[in-house]
Amino acid sequence: MQDQPLLTQAERDFIQQLHQPVTDKPGSAPSLQVDAAEQLKALLANCAANQQLTIEAHFANQRLTFTAYLSEDDQHEQYLALGTPQIFDEGPASRAWRLPLEPAIALRHRNGKASELWVHELSMNGLLVEYRGKGQPPVHFSLILPLSGQKPIAIEGVRVRRTGGGLQAYRLEALDQRGSDRLLQFIYDQHRVRFPEAHRA
């Protein structure tokens, strides 16, 4: 009796695709061909066109959630493409993965001058900040986050609490779509640097 392969070629291609760099631009995102029955293809196409369709990958204690969307190649064939993933730490409660910044980065005023708030950890919805000023840290800030390799992002934060380590936890206010996409891409790029084994082709 001939042994059947554990994975089909399409499944192997899919797993390999998850380890490839992805972008948040529909025109440059890698494609993903789906090997499935026609009914399942129709269901996936309908969901991707009309609902939010996501694909999850798990690595160690982390979950990467990719948004899948329909795109079209030069021959007008539709395929599923993956956007830049959101990264979560899994545990008793799921939370956005926090990127440690070493050394800490000073948030800046619009004139470019460094503020008294220095970011030690960054996620899509919050920051851990060291306050290097006098008196109490601000309840709210509206400053510029400089990012290595790309333009800075204007962010706003609201103080939530002081941590046991003496840092201030701030919740990020909603970013515009462009700022959100750029922050998501920056965090994902840094995740790839810190965990190359999860992104190896």
**Domain segments of the chain as ranges:** 9-94, 98-198
Residue (of 101, 97, 62) closest to 199 by Cα position:
62
pLDDT value for 71: 78
Of the two residues 56 and 31, the one the predictor is more confident about is: 56
- How many residues would you count in the chain? 201
- The dihedrals phi and psi of 188, each to the nearest 5 degrees, come to -65, -40
pLDDT value for 198: 75
Mean pLDDT of 117-137: 95
Tens-digit pLDDT profile for residues 12-26: 565 555 555 544 444
pTM: 0.73
Q: Across 109-139, where does the E strand assignment appear?
A: 114-122, 126-131
Counts for the chain of helices (H) and strands (E), in that order: 4, 12
CATH architecture of 98-198: Beta Barrel (2.40)
Of the two residues 76 and 159, the one the predictor is more confident about is: 159
pLDDT value for 23: 45
Residue 145, C-beta contacts closer than 8 angstroms, at least 6 positions apart = 105, 107, 108, 119, 122, 152, 153, 154, 155, 183
Cis peptide before 196 (omega within 30 of 0): no
The answer to whether residues 187 and 99 touch, using CB atoms and an 8 Å cutoff, is yes
Of the two residues 10 and 153, the one the predictor is more confident about is: 153
Tens-digit pLDDT profile for residues 150-195: 899 999 999 999 998 889 999 999 888 999 999 999 999 999 988 8
pLDDT value for 9: 60
Mean pLDDT of 109-126: 95
